[in-house]
Structure 1
Amino acid sequence: MNYFSSNFKLGILGGGQLGKMLLYETRKWDIYTKVLDNSEEAPCKISCDEFVLGSLLDFDTVYNFGSNVDVLTIEIENINVDALEKLEEEGVKVFPQPRALRIIQNKATQKLFYTDSDIPTSPFTRFVYTSEINDSINNGGLKLPFVWKCAQFGYDGQGVKVVRKSDDLNGLPNVECIAEEMINFKNELAVIVARSSAGEIKTYPVVEMEFHPEANQVEYVICPARIEDKIAQKAQKIALKVAQQINLVGLLAVELFQTQDDKILVNEVAPRPHNSGHYSIEASYTNQFEQHIRAILGLPLGNTKSKVAGIMVNLVGAEGHTGDVVYENMEAVLELEGVTPHIYGKKQTRPFRKMGHVTIVDKDMERARGVAQKVKETIKVISK
């Protein structure tokens, strides 16, 4: 099939910043794109060929949207999978495949998949409702502290809470959830695996993630991770196993813990381009968004190696600021060498909302890390 400057139509479910960056690549290759999102102000709206306003969770909306595209992909996993299954049955190519999304959408199902597939992960307990957890604590079935996660619809630190005492459960939604054992880790790592519809598979270098302690969001992504080669190889091997067991086409971001005794445990996965791969736009031979397009179209996968060290700094809304966004001190950041800002196009900011990111590239990792710190301290995402 001729994908370029042709009648081929690529459908994308979700119109956020990941979709916007995916569209950079489709524009580069002149691939016709159609995007569905539930917001009139979706970042993708100005960049796609065709924009449809509607709910990603409504069966009819998703089905009707996908019924006249050639390939359908996602930039967010919280979508109506029943509709995707019907489209797939009718011959629409859907990547990642609905069966993989069913596993990944629900964190309890995802954790059970790791256990059944002999993939190392942290011990956990599944609950139908949050209200059941106190009984389990009182009866000795569950020990404090643990990490509470809602089974569905959590993202960017939402739907996750560290529970150190029973009172920490107060106010949490009474939904299906899991309680994970707290892991004493030395590093949080991630590996992005690309797998094409033609069966080709490649991994990106292991990255190291530094998280904001309150928001549970990534503040820095550092590539390559500052770990021993044998640990990096172990992490890539486990990430490959996850991707092969799920048998997913597209990108799979595998988040991992490196424990104090150097075991590698899978935390969770995302079946799409991911925050941990944003550095690749400037630092890699083939960035994650181009790679996703290559994978779902069955084109040869690109080189995943890095040209230089890359560090990504997330730009999130400052605490105490809600309203029309202002990026303070952007000029000062642009004066720094090796710095590239990416602004996502969201007009309204709120505390910890992802508004953009900045990539810092340098041949010297320590110098790049120093510039990243300066960027973090300089730029402020505030409201008018």
Structure 2
Amino acid sequence: MTTLQTPGPTLGVVGGGQLGRMLAEAAAPLGVEVIVLDPTPDCPAALVARDQLVGDFDDEAGIRELAERADVLTFEIELADQDLLERVSEETGTPVHPRPETLRTIHDKLVQKRELREAGVPVPPFRAVDDADDVRDAIDEFGAPVMLKARTGGYDGRGNVPVESAADAEDALESVAGPAMVESFVDFEREISAIAVKGDDEVATFPVGENVHEEEILRETVVPARSSDEVLEKAEAVAADVLEVMDGRGVYGIELFETSDGEILLNEIAPRPHNSGHWTIEGAQSSQFEQHARAVLGWPLGSTTLRSPTVSTNLLGDVDEPREAALANVDRILETDGAHLHWYGKREARPLRKLGHVTVTGDGVGTDDREELLATARELRDDVTFE
């Protein structure tokens, strides 16, 4: 058994947004220092990380310096250049987790779905499309509506376009603007997610959460998901199968559909901590961010046990146009037992931009009723204003 000691190693993170910020917050108590690379000076992670290198995600000199200053590299954004990470890792000897090969698979949604289907992971029917005729053929095959997806670059619903009829095919394809794929439209009962962790020789899964989306953007996560034990066990089994396909240690956000007949289909995978796992900071024995730091460093994983039923809700930019980010009327959040405010330190508020989140735990408010927790979280969120 390897003897670990603190102060410990340095973790280099490509990306310094809110995920990098919360990762640095979780790493600090372990004695792990974090250095981030991000193109935005004074990015959200800069306040809590040891240092920030200012550079693009494909900046070779920046990635190389990050590797030379770190013991392990990881990333909090899929825009990290997988080929560059792989080359720098080989030349400097600094490992990258999850592996660049996993990032390469995730980067292209079509490649991702093909590899998972080949491995036996249940996915919705899909096909590549090159032009509007292909989209119309997909509608003939799958039935309308279908979901048109950009193969690369989409997140938070960006790059996902419902196509209601063959007449809409051309306009939908133009809006995606790049290589695309089509998936059949899933008649789902709810959207759920499993935050799973792949360690050196162990795996762990947090309790499955239920996600509430609006305009393709995650608004709330309810844990445990309001579904049957049988369905949740299926979801955890699918998550375990996904980890078998993924190469490299770390946290994986695995988004799933629960169909109307109780089956589980994979939606998408994020090879990093995920918005739907933010509840773990207060709601689980160890957070997804602590787990990611432990995993990528090859350390033993922590407990993923639920402390109590928990709800998290995002604070999104409620503005008509970009302006300085300032949050007002947070008093009720701070005064409510079991409520926890997280502000991401972004300097600019933009429409529907994720600026923070609020978590409400059952043990704090004295109830295990998830409906009541959700109502409380919504009330606290709706009281907040942007000034």
Per the normalisation by structure 2, the TM-score is 0.92
Instruction: Determine the C-alpha separation between the residues in 1 that align with 2:375 and 2:242.
Output: 34
C-alpha displacement at 1:187, in angstroms?
A: 0.8
Matches within 5 A, 1:65-76: 65-76=66-77
Counterpart residue number, 1:338: 338
Counterpart residue number, 1:180: 183
> Is residue 252–residue 271 contact of structure 2 (8 Å, CA) maintained in 1?
yes
Counterpart residue number, 1:377: 382
C-alpha displacement at 1:74, in angstroms?
A: 0.9
Q: How many residues align?
A: 375
C-alpha displacement at 1:66, in angstroms?
A: 1.8
Instruction: Determine the C-alpha separation between the residues in 2 that align with 1:61 and 1:153.
Output: 22
Give % identity. Answer: 34
Counterpart residue number, 1:32: 33
Counterpart residue number, 1:107: 109
SS in 1 for 2:49: coil
Aligned mate of 2:209, from 207, 211, 214: 207
> Is residue 124–residue 179 contact of structure 1 (8 Å, CA) maintained in 2?
yes
Instruction: Determine the C-alpha separation between the residues in 2 that align with 1:173 and 1:273.
Output: 26
Counterpart residue number, 1:124: 126
Instruction: Determine the C-alpha separation between the residues in 2 that align with 1:305 and 1:110.
Output: 29
Amino acid at match of 1:378: D
> Is residue 127–residue 178 contact of structure 1 (8 Å, CA) maintained in 2?
yes
Amino acid at match of 1:147: M
Identify if the C-alpha distance between structure 1 residues 326 and 66 changes in structure 2 by more than 3 Å, giving closer, same or farther. same
C-alpha displacement at 1:49, in angstroms?
A: 1.4
C-alpha displacement at 1:32, in angstroms?
A: 2.3
- After the TM superposition, which of the residue ranges 360-369 and 115-124 deviates more from structure 2? 360-369
Q: Which 5+ residue runs of structure 1 have no aligned equivalent?
A: none
Counterpart residue number, 1:160: 160
SS in 2 for 1:172: helix
Amino acid at match of 1:229: D
Matches within 5 A, 1:43-54: 43-54=44-55
Counterpart residue number, 1:193: 196
Cα offsets for 1:95-131 (capped at 9, x unmatched): 0111111111111111111121111011111124xxx
Amino acid at match of 1:368: L
Per the normalisation by structure 1, the TM-score is 0.93
Amino acid at match of 2:337: E
> Is residue 84–residue 94 contact of structure 1 (8 Å, CA) maintained in 2?
yes
Matches within 5 A, 1:204-353: 204-212=206-214, 214=215, 216-353=216-353
Amino acid at match of 2:196: V
Amino acid at match of 2:132: I
C-alpha displacement at 1:62, in angstroms?
A: 2.1
C-alpha displacement at 1:150, in angstroms?
A: 0.8
> Is residue 135–residue 182 contact of structure 2 (8 Å, CA) maintained in 1?
no
